[in-house]
Structure 1
Amino acid sequence: MNLLMCPVCREALSLTDRTWRCLNNHSYDVAKQGYVNLHVVQHKHSKNPGDTSESVQARRAFLSAGFYAPLQHALVEKIRELRIENLLDIGCGEGYYTDAMQAEVMQCMGVDIAKNAVQVAAKLNKNITWVVGTGATLPVLDHSIDLCTSLFSPIPKEEILRVLKPQAYLIVVTPAPAHLFAMREALFDEVNEHDPHKFVEQLQDAFELIEQPIVESEFTLDQQQLKNLIAMTPYAYKAKPEKRQALEEQGSTQLKAAFQIYLFQKK
């Protein structure tokens, strides 16, 4: 069952050979890496939106080392409990979480605005429909999705409501207040705690909050692993260069990750 929507005319897309095509003959070729680019030029605000190649490679190296595996396992367990068919991962990045979640569903799509991230993701798992696209106009048919996930990504509320079936689910993952606190203390003069509850307030009129567990893990990083972690976060460009350098010169760094998971159901 094809769930993709033409970003130009909003008609359903169907796949023939290696080309997605709609009734109005708009066509989109599947790239050799195995993804399709549905981020049309009229929806673009910059030439290369999303994460840089350096950030994508750093994230792949850090996540594949297993430091955030407790979060990945918690998500997989929750999706197994929900017993859903179609999953849309919004802001899938280089695919670490999407790849694991795919095993629990019949059909899985990963969408990200960063082409270089999707190119890396597409090599992971050929059973996922990998798409370059924007959350502002999700290239997915109305009321076709059982579960949307947004992990450390923007939450295009109206688009999520459009693509979700009635009573379908949304999982949001965002940093809990204690997330990487020691690292942020080292990088910034003043550290503000993360405020995950703002997402509940943003969504409460259209979604019912079902569960809100926090997943925590502690780990010790060597210099290269710490550099990868910093490079994959907004801290890479927000921190003062001298503070970042001082932290990266430490032999090892002990950190605690804390992830807030919210499970919502569409009202």
Structure 2
Amino acid sequence: MIQPFDQLICPLDKQPLQLNERTWCCENGHSYDLAKQGYVNLLPVQNKRSKDPGDSKAMVQARRKYLEEGHYLPLARALADIVLEQGDQTLLDAGCGEGYYLRYLVEQAERKGTELSVAALDISKWAVQAAAKQDKRLSWIVASNNAIPLADNSVDTILCVFGFPVEAEFKRVLKPGGRLIMVDPASEHLIELKRIIYPELKAKSEQLPVSEASWKLCSEERVSFPVNLPDTEAVHDLLTMTPHLYRASKEGRERAESLQSLALTADAWVRVFSLTA
């Protein structure tokens, strides 16, 4: 059974939130309405670094289209297999984007008969809106990893897929014995695109994404597979959905946009961490 996660806390005073019809409320009178798409915004204005933080609407639309064409399906499969090895669990997707990997994971959990209680957050309201429209059963939240609006020691598994870990918050919300599962680009990820858009490539650091003093690496799997983009539109979607759109020079972007097709390598690390004692 798939169900929403309900141990949410107020972003202003950290008190537990209770859902009353379509409004989350704390005992101090702060209230947060569910949007019509089915998500709640728990990102206070004072915690925003910009007027519209996170991925733009155009980035979200491009990513959704690209991922729904199945280009990264092998990665979604590998991630779901690792998560569901544990069986029934409470789960936080910390940086869910438009929800592709989580939706696939939930589908596989249903097929296996695994019970999940799921919360998913992203700082981009456009990403959360798009995700919430696809599956109303989950707790979709506009929020930041810097201030996760979940209760202490409340989740078994945290997913951080191509995201930004905030170790102190991850430690706070994980249950004793909980897991952090991270997906990060490996050295050959999209290397063919990078060679086109950048005049020179810097060697990618191979260090772990979290502190070895606080986290124990339990397992790691390198997931690499070819991706063939058949047309200019698919190349445009890939470029739009990644930070390379802003990092590349105008000339580099123009070279990529002129391509009629592109053969790529997808290359990612899937790592499982536990907290050190």
Find 1:51's aligned residue among 28, 52, 55. Answer: 55
User: 1:150 is matched by which residue type in structure 2?
Assistant: C
SS in 1 for 2:24: strand
2:82 is the alignment partner of 1:74: no
Equivalent residue of 1:122, what SS? Answer: helix
Unpaired runs of 5+ in structure 1?
A: none
Which aligned pairs between 1:92-131 and structure 2 lie closer than 5 A? Answer: 92-103=96-107, 104=109, 105-131=115-141
Give the alignment's Cα RMSD to 1 decimal.
Answer: 1.2
Q: Is the 8 A contact 1:174 1:196 kept in 2?
A: no
Q: Aligned match of 1:211 in 216, 219, 236?
A: 219
Matches within 5 A, 1:93-242: 93-103=97-107, 104=109, 105-199=115-209, 202-221=210-229, 222-242=231-251
Q: Is 1:243 the equivalent of 2:252?
A: yes
Q: Which residue of 2 aligns with 1:256?
A: 265
CA contact (8 A) 2:80 2:104 kept: yes
Separation in 1 of the partners of 2:228 and 2:104?
A: 24
Identify which of 28, 35, 38 aligns with 1:34. 38
TM-score, normalised via structure 1 length:
0.96
1:2 and 2:6 aligned: yes
CA-CA distance at 1:197 after TM superposition: 2.2
Return the TM-score normalized by structure 2.
0.93
CA distance in 2, matches of 1:74, 1:89: 16
The separation in 2 between residues aligned to 1:118 and 1:112, in whole angstroms, is 6
Does the 8 Å CA contact 2:235/2:259 hold for their aligned counterparts? no
Shift in Å, 1:198: 3.5
- Percent of aligned pairs sharing the same letter: 38
Distance 1:182 1:259 in 2: 15
Q: Distance in 2 between matches of 1:6 and 1:101?
A: 28
- Alpha-carbon deviations, 1:15-54, whole Å to 9, x = none? 1111111121211100001000000112122111001111
Query: Once superposed, which parts of structure 1, at least 4 consecutive aligned residues long, lie more than 4 Å away?
Result: none
